[in-house]
Amino acid sequence: MIHLKLYDPKPEQTRALGSYMEAHSHLLEQIQAGEDGYKDVLGWLHVSTWAGEAVLSQVEALAEKIRKDADAFVLIGVGGSNNTARSVIEALGTDGPEIIYAGNTLSPRALSQVMDAVKGKKIWINCIAKNFETLEPGSSFRILRKYMYEAYGSTEAAQRIIATGTRGSLLEGLCHEHGYTFLGFPEDVGGRYSGITSVGLLPMAVAGINIRKLVQGAMDMERSLLFASAGENVAFEYACIRNMLYKQGYALEMLASFEPAFRWFYKWWIQLFAETEGKEGKGLFPVTGEYSEELHAVGQFVQEGTPLMFETFLDVKTPVGTLVIENDGIKDAFDYLDGMDFQTVNRIAFEATVKAHSRRLPCLILTLDRLDEYCFGEMFYFFMFACCISARLLGVNPFDQPGVEAYKEQMFEGLGKQV
């Protein structure tokens, strides 16, 4: 489970939370009943439809084959096609092949580094592209595909190429034509909501992540959020608090944690909220704080700068490790740490920060049980559900992203693409 706690230095801002939740409970109930206005894109609500036994077995079998053969696995994807798998793999590590990320840049320098990194290794590539129109994965796929054909010849190259996209897409056609493995995911799951379909599950499984535990976490969270009433629904409560604070004039939500393992999860979270809410001149801008390190960067501003933000802390209940600071006989300025465990020191720093910051700005704490696959599954589902409701409270469409068309139009014109 995820637990929520709120410290608000101006309690009058959120005192009406109960009645606010009651007044907006119909939005929750509509989604729970599947009667939401966006029926066609609510597929992500039902975990078993996109990560059921058939998908899990297929992904695991394919991952096993790759793990036995590959030195490196290249994930070609950007945004929703990259952030979910990456956030789990970077947090929990890989015990399988090296995972190399491509398809997320147009820089010739960064891509040359990718091409240098694959040389001399046995590799598999996985191009992940919902509609196969996005420039970064499309262009990276081209250069990596060419490399594969040259390195392995067309037959073996084809065996080492996997593509993930929606059924009936151009990408699926390409796979059939050239003998690549195709993994499909449902049309009614949008890009930023697709991370725990085959999109994210294959790269995670290749890295040795227990995807069954992760999916179980998501399913348990589904059960909890789809059936809990407004007053008992923690995702709904989180969505309501952030919208109340937004209406009080807060412009930023800062997601912070004292565990640097969340570094890439932050990116997933930023995309989810920025793309879902940032429209019609509205929305809380999502930013993140990798504490304690970034207390030495943004800490001053949070405490005394323009009062723009509230903070949401990710806390992990079960210790993430142990490391004692032993006395080594050398007297320095840190003797007061003798015999303490970093777990304790880090927790004291966390509590001190919440205490100090919450004198000035609202601080929410979301507590996870552990840092593991199961809790990542819970978190992904929790935030997708909360974000969707949050957008409804804001009065915007949670599933589109019309604002990215402006630069794409300019870009395709510059590239001479026939539209």
Catalytic residues: 275, 296, 408
Q: Which is nearer to a copy of itself, 237 or 311 (CB)?
A: 311
Residue 78 CA to residue 82 CA, distance in Å, equals 5
Tell me how long the chain is. 419
User: Where in 171-210 is the site for a copy of itself (CB under 8 A)?
Assistant: 174, 178
Regarding 145 and contact with a copy of itself (CB under 8 A), the answer is yes
Q: Which is nearer to a copy of itself, 53 or 304 (CB)?
A: 304
Geometric angle at alpha carbon 73, from 67 and 79, rounded to 5°: 130
Of 17, 56, 151, 345, the residue at the interface with a copy of itself (CB under 8 A) is 345
Report in angstroms how near the CB of residue 67 gets to a copy of itself at its nearest: 22
User: Where in 28-67 is the site for a copy of itself (CB under 8 A)?
Assistant: none
Report in angstroms how near the CB of residue 146 gets to a copy of itself at its nearest: 4
> Any idea of the CA torsion for 110, 113, 119, 121, to the nearest 10 degrees?
-90
Contact predicate 281/220, CB 8 Å: no
The end-to-end CA distance of the chain, in Å, is 47
Regarding 158 and contact with a copy of itself (CB under 8 A), the answer is no
Report in angstroms how near the CB of residue 233 gets to a copy of itself at its nearest: 26
Nearest to 47 by CA among 253, 215, 246: 215
Of 60, 342, 367, 397, the residue at the interface with a copy of itself (CB under 8 A) is 342
Residues 6 or more apart from 290 whose CB is under 8 A from it? 256, 257, 260, 262, 263, 266
Please choose, out of 34-42, 207-215, 222-230, 300-308, the segment that lies near a copy of itself by the rule CB under 8 A.
Answer: 300-308
Report in angstroms how near the CB of residue 71 gets to a copy of itself at its nearest: 20
Report in angstroms how near the CB of residue 52 gets to a copy of itself at its nearest: 28
Residue 144 CA to residue 71 CA, distance in Å, equals 16
Report in angstroms how near the CB of residue 36 gets to a copy of itself at its nearest: 21
Regarding 248 and contact with a copy of itself (CB under 8 A), the answer is no
Q: Which is nearer to a copy of itself, 98 or 133 (CB)?
A: 133
User: Where in 260-289 is the site for a copy of itself (CB under 8 A)?
Assistant: 260-261, 267, 270-271, 274-275, 277-285, 287
Geometric angle at alpha carbon 141, from 103 and 61, rounded to 5°: 90
Name the one residue in this structure whose structure tokens are 């910051």: 357
Report in angstroms how near the CB of residue 211 gets to a copy of itself at its nearest: 22
Q: Which is nearer to a copy of itself, 67 or 130 (CB)?
A: 130
User: Where in 312-341 is the site for a copy of itself (CB under 8 A)?
Assistant: 319-323, 325-326, 328, 330, 332-334, 336-337, 340-341
Nearest to 401 by CA among 275, 212, 235: 275
Q: Which is nearer to a copy of itself, 64 or 351 (CB)?
A: 351
Of 15, 64, 106, 227, the residue at the interface with a copy of itself (CB under 8 A) is 106
Regarding 304 and contact with a copy of itself (CB under 8 A), the answer is yes
Report in angstroms how near the CB of residue 182 gets to a copy of itself at its nearest: 14
Residue 408 CA to residue 280 CA, distance in Å, equals 19
The sheet carrying 98-102 orders its strands as 98-102, 72-76, 123-128, 161-166, 181-185
Half-sphere exposure of 296 (CA within 13 A, CB side): 4
Size of the site for a copy of itself (CB under 8 A): 115
The sheet carrying 3-7 orders its strands as 3-7, 363-368, 309-316, 252-257, 285-290
Q: Which is nearer to a copy of itself, 211 or 302 (CB)?
A: 302
Q: Which is nearer to a copy of itself, 264 or 374 (CB)?
A: 264
Of 48, 112, 229, 318, the residue at the interface with a copy of itself (CB under 8 A) is 112
x/- map, 387-416, a copy of itself, by CB under 8 A = --------------xxxx-xxxxxx-xxxx
Residues 6 or more apart from 405 whose CB is under 8 A from it? none
Helix H or strand E encompassing 75 = strand 72-76
Tokens of 264: 């890439």
x/- map, 62-101, a copy of itself, by CB under 8 A = ----------------xxx--x------------------
Residues 6 or more apart from 240 whose CB is under 8 A from it? 17, 20, 21, 24, 393
Name the one residue in this structure whose structure tokens are 């001399």: 120
Please choose, out of 49-57, 63-71, 105-113, 211-219, the segment that lies near a copy of itself by the rule CB under 8 A.
Answer: 105-113
Residue 253 CA to residue 107 CA, distance in Å, equals 30
